[in-house]
Amino acid sequence: MIAIIDYGMGNLRSVENAFKSIGYPVTITRDPGKILDSSGIILPGVGAFRDCLKNLKTYGLFKPLYKFIESKKPFLGICLGLQVFFEESEEFGRYKGLGILKGRVVSLPQNRVKIPHMGWNTIKIRKKCPIFEGIKDFSYFYFVHSYYVIPEEEEIIATTTDYGVEFTSSIWKDNIFACQFHPEKSQKLGLKVLKKFGEICQRNAG
């Protein structure tokens, strides 16, 4: 079973429905035991960085998240679920993130482009990543965000996207996959990415 972490924010149902449409059973939960027992977890997110961290702490989800990452089982972060894994964000001030990945979250250049970045945009593949198997360079995915991550470790960058600046649109490090775009809103190619993540979870469980 794949677990979608319920921390009181995010587009949980649309992610759940996307996985169900491709035949993978998922459960929405904030139960630490279920999270740790799952074959893979997804942290979706829509909203403010500080509120996400506050809710994760309120529901006691920090420890299960850290333990799950240490277990080397597959993790998928979506949008805000990518950003919170870094050390800090400048959204509405300065707020500490989970610090699992080195780097920070900064604003898109407001003097150059319309904020938020909302709609379809292309990805440039920087390194081969298992969840992008079969995805071509410059494929279109759906974005909704005003901030982006700057990883200290450039080798974890899987794809980049141009929107006033060339920003990191997905990362891959060990068992951690995370993307700034929304695969659950990206139609056929987005479902292909989610299906690949499901296959990785299935292999890991087997």
Instruction: Output the pLDDT for position 134.
Output: 94
With 70 as the cut, is the pLDDT of residue 57 above it? yes
Residues 6+ apart with CB under 8 A from 11: 44, 46, 182, 184
130-185 pLDDT, tens digit each: 999 999 999 999 999 999 999 999 999 999 999 999 999 999 999 999 999 999 99
Instruction: Output the pLDDT for position 48.
Output: 87
Backbone phi and psi for residue 114, each to the nearest 5 degrees, phi listed first? -75, 135
If phi > 0 it is left, if psi is from -120 to 50 it is alpha, else beta; for residue 5 that is beta
Instruction: Output the pLDDT for position 61.
Output: 95
Instruction: Output the pLDDT for position 120.
Output: 98
User: Does this model's pTM top 0.85?
Assistant: yes
Q: Is the dihedral of CA 99, 103, 105, 106 positive or negative?
A: positive
C-alpha to C-alpha distance for 194 and 92, rounded to whole angstroms: 31
Question: Which domain CATH number covers 14?
Answer: 3.40.50.880
| Element of type H or E holding 176 | strand 176-179
With 80 as the cut, is the pLDDT of residue 205 above it? no
Residue-number span of the structural domain to which 56 is assigned: 2-205
Instruction: Output the pLDDT for position 9.
Output: 82
Binned at pLDDT 50, 70 and 90, residue 192 comes out as: very high
Structure tokens at 16: 């759940």
C-alpha to C-alpha distance for 70 and 111, rounded to whole angstroms: 40
* Cβ atoms of 176 and 69 closer than 8 Å: yes
With 70 as the cut, is the pLDDT of residue 63 above it? yes
Which one-letter DSSP state was computed for residue 132?
Answer: G
Would you please indicate which residues are annotated as catalytic (active-site) residues?
A: 79, 182, 184
* Cβ atoms of 134 and 184 closer than 8 Å: no
| Three-class secondary structure of residue 22 per DSSP | coil
Instruction: Output the pLDDT for position 20.
Output: 93
With 80 as the cut, is the pLDDT of residue 71 above it? yes
Instruction: Output the pLDDT for position 206.
Output: 64
Structural domains of the chain, count: 1
Q: Where does residue 111 rank: exposed (0-12), middle (13-18), buried (19+ CB within 10 A)?
A: exposed
Instruction: Output the pLDDT for position 180.
Output: 98
How many residues in total does the chain contain? 206
Structure tokens at 135: 């995805």
74-130 pLDDT, tens digit each: 999 999 999 999 999 999 889 999 999 999 999 999 888 999 999 999 999 999 999
Cα dist from 73 to 55, 62, 123, whole Å: 23, 16, 26
